[in-house]
Amino acid sequence: MIALRDVSKTVTSGTEPLTILHPLTTEIPRGQFVAVVGPSGSGKSTLLGLIAGLDAPTSGSVVIDGVDITKLDEDALAKLRGEKIGFVFQFFHLIPSLTAYENVAVPMEIAGAADAADRARRLLEEVGLTGRAHHYPSQLSGGEQQRVALARALANNLPIVLADEPTGNLDSTNGRHIMQLLKDIHQTRGTTLVLVTHDAEVAAQADTRLVMRDGRVVEGLSR
Protein backbone atom coordinates (compact mmCIF):
# COMPACT_ATOMS: atom_id res chain seq x y z
CA MET A 1 0.00 0.00 0.00
CA ILE A 2 1.05 3.54 -0.75
CA ALA A 3 0.28 6.14 1.94
CA LEU A 4 0.94 9.89 1.66
CA ARG A 5 0.77 11.98 4.82
CA ASP A 6 0.74 15.76 4.50
CA VAL A 7 3.12 15.55 1.56
CA SER A 8 4.00 18.90 0.01
CA LYS A 9 6.62 20.21 -2.40
CA THR A 10 7.92 23.75 -2.67
CA VAL A 11 10.60 24.79 -5.13
CA THR A 12 12.41 28.06 -5.60
CA SER A 13 11.43 29.81 -8.78
CA GLY A 14 13.94 32.60 -9.31
CA THR A 15 14.12 34.05 -5.81
CA GLU A 16 10.49 33.29 -4.88
CA PRO A 17 9.36 30.03 -3.25
CA LEU A 18 6.68 28.29 -5.33
CA THR A 19 4.49 25.52 -3.91
CA ILE A 20 3.88 22.97 -6.64
CA LEU A 21 2.13 20.48 -4.37
CA HIS A 22 0.08 21.58 -1.36
CA PRO A 23 -0.07 19.26 1.67
CA LEU A 24 -1.78 16.09 0.58
CA THR A 25 -2.86 13.01 2.51
CA THR A 26 -4.17 9.93 0.73
CA GLU A 27 -3.80 6.15 0.45
CA ILE A 28 -3.64 3.89 -2.56
CA PRO A 29 -4.49 0.27 -1.69
CA ARG A 30 -2.53 -2.60 -3.23
CA GLY A 31 -3.72 -3.64 -6.72
CA GLN A 32 -5.61 -0.43 -7.44
CA PHE A 33 -5.55 1.41 -10.76
CA VAL A 34 -5.45 5.13 -10.04
CA ALA A 35 -5.60 7.77 -12.75
CA VAL A 36 -4.23 11.24 -11.91
CA VAL A 37 -5.65 13.93 -14.20
CA GLY A 38 -5.39 17.66 -14.43
CA PRO A 39 -3.99 20.42 -16.60
CA SER A 40 -0.26 21.01 -17.17
CA GLY A 41 1.54 22.35 -14.11
CA SER A 42 -1.07 21.06 -11.69
CA GLY A 43 1.50 18.87 -9.82
CA LYS A 44 0.66 15.42 -11.30
CA SER A 45 4.22 14.46 -12.25
CA THR A 46 5.52 15.89 -9.00
CA LEU A 47 3.17 13.64 -7.09
CA LEU A 48 4.35 10.61 -9.06
CA GLY A 49 8.00 11.51 -8.54
CA LEU A 50 7.43 11.80 -4.79
CA ILE A 51 5.77 8.38 -4.63
CA ALA A 52 8.71 6.84 -6.52
CA GLY A 53 11.24 8.52 -4.24
CA LEU A 54 12.71 10.24 -7.31
CA ASP A 55 12.17 13.54 -5.55
CA ALA A 56 12.10 14.47 -1.85
CA PRO A 57 9.01 16.19 -0.40
CA THR A 58 9.42 19.53 1.38
CA SER A 59 7.26 18.17 4.19
CA GLY A 60 5.25 15.07 5.08
CA SER A 61 6.01 11.41 4.54
CA VAL A 62 5.51 8.81 1.85
CA VAL A 63 5.04 5.28 3.17
CA ILE A 64 5.30 2.28 0.89
CA ASP A 65 4.41 -1.11 2.35
CA GLY A 66 5.09 0.25 5.84
CA VAL A 67 8.44 1.92 5.00
CA ASP A 68 8.70 5.71 5.25
CA ILE A 69 10.75 6.34 2.14
CA THR A 70 11.44 9.99 3.02
CA LYS A 71 13.78 8.69 5.71
CA LEU A 72 15.87 6.64 3.25
CA ASP A 73 19.12 7.77 1.67
CA GLU A 74 19.71 7.79 -2.10
CA ASP A 75 21.13 4.28 -2.25
CA ALA A 76 18.34 2.78 -0.12
CA LEU A 77 15.80 4.56 -2.31
CA ALA A 78 17.43 3.11 -5.41
CA LYS A 79 17.25 -0.35 -3.86
CA LEU A 80 13.58 0.13 -2.96
CA ARG A 81 12.75 1.20 -6.50
CA GLY A 82 14.60 -1.83 -7.84
CA GLU A 83 12.44 -4.10 -5.67
CA LYS A 84 9.04 -2.41 -5.72
CA ILE A 85 8.49 0.38 -8.21
CA GLY A 86 8.58 0.43 -12.00
CA PHE A 87 8.39 3.79 -13.76
CA VAL A 88 7.24 4.70 -17.28
CA PHE A 89 8.02 8.24 -18.50
CA GLN A 90 6.30 10.35 -21.11
CA PHE A 91 9.66 10.79 -22.91
CA PHE A 92 10.62 7.10 -22.51
CA HIS A 93 14.07 7.86 -21.04
CA LEU A 94 15.77 4.81 -22.43
CA ILE A 95 19.56 4.69 -22.16
CA PRO A 96 20.70 5.60 -25.69
CA SER A 97 23.91 3.58 -25.51
CA LEU A 98 22.08 0.31 -24.76
CA THR A 99 20.01 -1.88 -27.09
CA ALA A 100 16.31 -2.51 -26.40
CA TYR A 101 17.16 -5.87 -24.87
CA GLU A 102 19.87 -4.36 -22.65
CA ASN A 103 17.58 -1.54 -21.50
CA VAL A 104 15.09 -4.14 -20.32
CA ALA A 105 17.74 -6.36 -18.72
CA VAL A 106 19.43 -3.58 -16.71
CA PRO A 107 17.05 -3.46 -13.68
CA MET A 108 17.24 -7.25 -13.33
CA GLU A 109 21.03 -7.18 -13.61
CA ILE A 110 21.18 -4.51 -10.91
CA ALA A 111 19.00 -6.75 -8.70
CA GLY A 112 21.39 -9.62 -9.45
CA ALA A 113 18.75 -11.84 -11.11
CA ALA A 114 20.34 -14.97 -12.56
CA ASP A 115 17.77 -15.33 -15.34
CA ALA A 116 17.84 -11.68 -16.46
CA ALA A 117 18.56 -12.56 -20.10
CA ASP A 118 15.64 -14.99 -20.47
CA ARG A 119 13.23 -12.71 -18.67
CA ALA A 120 14.26 -9.69 -20.74
CA ARG A 121 13.60 -11.68 -23.91
CA ARG A 122 10.19 -12.83 -22.59
CA LEU A 123 9.24 -9.28 -21.65
CA LEU A 124 10.16 -7.99 -25.10
CA GLU A 125 8.05 -10.77 -26.56
CA GLU A 126 5.19 -9.71 -24.28
CA VAL A 127 5.35 -6.15 -25.64
CA GLY A 128 5.73 -7.43 -29.20
CA LEU A 129 9.34 -6.38 -29.85
CA THR A 130 11.17 -9.68 -30.24
CA GLY A 131 12.49 -8.64 -33.64
CA ARG A 132 13.78 -5.29 -32.38
CA ALA A 133 15.72 -6.57 -29.34
CA HIS A 134 19.11 -5.56 -30.67
CA HIS A 135 18.15 -2.15 -31.96
CA TYR A 136 19.25 1.01 -30.22
CA PRO A 137 16.61 3.53 -29.02
CA SER A 138 17.56 5.86 -31.87
CA GLN A 139 16.59 3.08 -34.29
CA LEU A 140 13.12 2.58 -32.76
CA SER A 141 9.88 4.53 -33.26
CA GLY A 142 8.29 6.39 -30.36
CA GLY A 143 5.73 3.62 -29.80
CA GLU A 144 8.44 0.98 -29.81
CA GLN A 145 10.55 2.97 -27.38
CA GLN A 146 7.62 3.29 -25.01
CA ARG A 147 6.99 -0.44 -25.20
CA VAL A 148 10.65 -1.06 -24.29
CA ALA A 149 10.23 1.38 -21.37
CA LEU A 150 7.15 -0.54 -20.29
CA ALA A 151 8.98 -3.88 -20.47
CA ARG A 152 11.74 -2.32 -18.38
CA ALA A 153 9.22 -1.17 -15.75
CA LEU A 154 7.93 -4.72 -15.49
CA ALA A 155 11.35 -6.29 -15.40
CA ASN A 156 11.60 -7.26 -11.75
CA ASN A 157 7.95 -8.24 -11.50
CA LEU A 158 7.36 -5.18 -9.36
CA PRO A 159 4.18 -4.66 -7.32
CA ILE A 160 3.86 -0.97 -8.27
CA VAL A 161 4.05 0.68 -11.73
CA LEU A 162 3.97 4.46 -11.96
CA ALA A 163 3.35 5.84 -15.47
CA ASP A 164 3.76 9.53 -16.27
CA GLU A 165 1.65 10.32 -19.33
CA PRO A 166 2.88 7.17 -21.11
CA THR A 167 0.77 7.89 -24.18
CA GLY A 168 1.33 11.64 -24.23
CA ASN A 169 4.05 11.45 -26.82
CA LEU A 170 2.50 8.78 -29.05
CA ASP A 171 -0.03 8.66 -31.87
CA SER A 172 -3.46 7.27 -31.03
CA THR A 173 -2.84 3.72 -32.32
CA ASN A 174 0.38 3.37 -30.36
CA GLY A 175 -1.26 5.10 -27.39
CA ARG A 176 -4.09 2.58 -27.36
CA HIS A 177 -1.63 -0.28 -27.63
CA ILE A 178 0.37 0.92 -24.64
CA MET A 179 -2.78 1.48 -22.55
CA GLN A 180 -3.94 -2.02 -23.34
CA LEU A 181 -0.61 -3.43 -22.21
CA LEU A 182 -0.78 -1.45 -18.95
CA LYS A 183 -4.32 -2.63 -18.22
CA ASP A 184 -3.36 -6.22 -18.97
CA ILE A 185 -0.47 -5.99 -16.54
CA HIS A 186 -2.69 -4.48 -13.87
CA GLN A 187 -5.30 -7.16 -14.33
CA THR A 188 -3.15 -10.24 -14.80
CA ARG A 189 -0.46 -9.45 -12.25
CA GLY A 190 -2.47 -7.45 -9.73
CA THR A 191 0.03 -4.59 -10.07
CA THR A 192 -0.77 -1.28 -8.40
CA LEU A 193 -0.93 1.18 -11.30
CA VAL A 194 -0.75 4.93 -10.84
CA LEU A 195 -1.15 6.67 -14.17
CA VAL A 196 -0.88 10.37 -14.95
CA THR A 197 -2.88 11.25 -18.04
CA HIS A 198 -4.60 14.07 -19.90
CA ASP A 199 -6.84 11.60 -21.65
CA ALA A 200 -10.35 11.46 -20.13
CA GLU A 201 -11.07 8.19 -21.91
CA VAL A 202 -8.05 6.55 -20.32
CA ALA A 203 -8.89 8.02 -16.92
CA ALA A 204 -12.39 6.63 -17.13
CA GLN A 205 -10.99 3.09 -17.10
CA ALA A 206 -9.33 3.55 -13.69
CA ASP A 207 -10.65 2.35 -10.30
CA THR A 208 -10.02 5.78 -8.81
CA ARG A 209 -9.57 9.19 -10.42
CA LEU A 210 -7.62 11.98 -8.71
CA VAL A 211 -8.21 15.36 -10.29
CA MET A 212 -5.53 17.96 -9.58
CA ARG A 213 -5.44 21.70 -10.08
CA ASP A 214 -2.79 24.21 -8.94
CA GLY A 215 -1.01 21.68 -6.77
CA ARG A 216 -4.12 20.46 -4.97
CA VAL A 217 -6.32 17.36 -5.39
CA VAL A 218 -9.75 18.76 -6.03
CA GLU A 219 -11.65 15.55 -6.66
CA GLY A 220 -11.52 11.83 -5.91
CA LEU A 221 -9.54 11.99 -2.72
CA SER A 222 -9.89 8.99 -0.42
CA ARG A 223 -9.12 9.59 3.24
Partner 1 sequence: MKFVLRMAVRETRSSWRRLLFFFVCIAVGVAAIVALRSVIQNVRGVFGREARSLIAADVLISTNREWTDAARATIDRRLVEAGADAHTDTVETPTMVRPADSSKPTARMVELRAVGSEFPLYGTVGLQSGELYSYGMLQNRGVLVRAELLTALSVKVGDELTIGQSSFTIKGVITNEPGRRVGDFSLGPGILIALEDLPATGLLQFGSRVRRVLQVRVPEEPRIRPLVETLRDDFKDQFVNARSFRGTDDEIGRDFDRAENYLSLVGLVIVILGGIAVSSVTRVFVLQKMRSIAVLKCVGARSGQIIGVYLLQVLTLGFAGSLLGVVLARLAILGIPLALGNAASMLADVQYGITWSAAIQGIGVGVLVSLLFSVVPLLQIRMVKPSLLFRDEPLRGGRDWTRIIATVLVSAALVALTAWQAASLRVGLSVCAGFCGLALALHVTGRLLVRTMAPLANSKSFPLRHAVLHLSRPGNQTRVILLAVGLGAFFIVGVRSLQASLLEEFAVQSGEGSPDMFLMDIQRDQADGIRAFLTDPSHGAGPFRFIPVLRARVVGVDGRSVQLESFEDVRARGGLGREYTITYRDHLEANEKIASGAFWRGPSSVAEVSIEQGMAERNQLGVGDTIRFDVLGRVIPARVTSVRAVDWRDSRSGGFIFVFRPGVLENAPQMIISPLRGPEGPEARARFQHDLVEAFPNVSVIDFHEILVTVRDVMSKVTLAVSVVGGLVLLSGALILIGAVAMTKFQRVYEAAVFKTLGANTRTIARMLLLEYGVLGLLAGTVGSLGAIALTWGVSRWALDIPWRISVGEHVGGVIATTALVAAIGVLSSLDVLRHKPLATLRAE
- C-beta of 223: minimal distance to partner 1 in Å? 27
Nearest alpha-carbon partner for 188 in 134, 137, 140, 126: 126
* Amino acid (1-letter code) at residue 37: V
- C-beta of 204: minimal distance to partner 1 in Å? 26
For residue 13, the cross-strand partners are 16
Q: Which is nearer to partner 1, 70 or 205 (CB)?
A: 70
Cα dist from 67 to 4, 101, 107, whole Å: 11, 32, 21
Q: Which is nearer to partner 1, 35 or 52 (CB)?
A: 52
φ, ψ at 176 (rounded to 5°): -65, -40
- C-beta of 55: minimal distance to partner 1 in Å? 4
CA within 13 Å, CB half, 141: 8
- Interface residues with partner 1 (CB under 8 A) are 45-46, 49, 52, 54-55, 74-75, 78-79, 81-83, 87, 89, 93-98, 102, 106-107, 109-112, 138, 152, 155-156, 164
How many C-beta atoms surround the C-beta of residue 36 within 10 A?
28
Let me know: does 192 contact 161? Beta carbons within 8 Å.
Answer: yes
- C-beta of 40: minimal distance to partner 1 in Å? 13
Q: Which is nearer to partner 1, 95 or 218 (CB)?
A: 95
* End-to-end CA gap in the chain: 14
Q: Which is nearer to partner 1, 2 or 158 (CB)?
A: 158
Q: Which is nearer to partner 1, 30 or 91 (CB)?
A: 91
- C-beta of 211: minimal distance to partner 1 in Å? 20
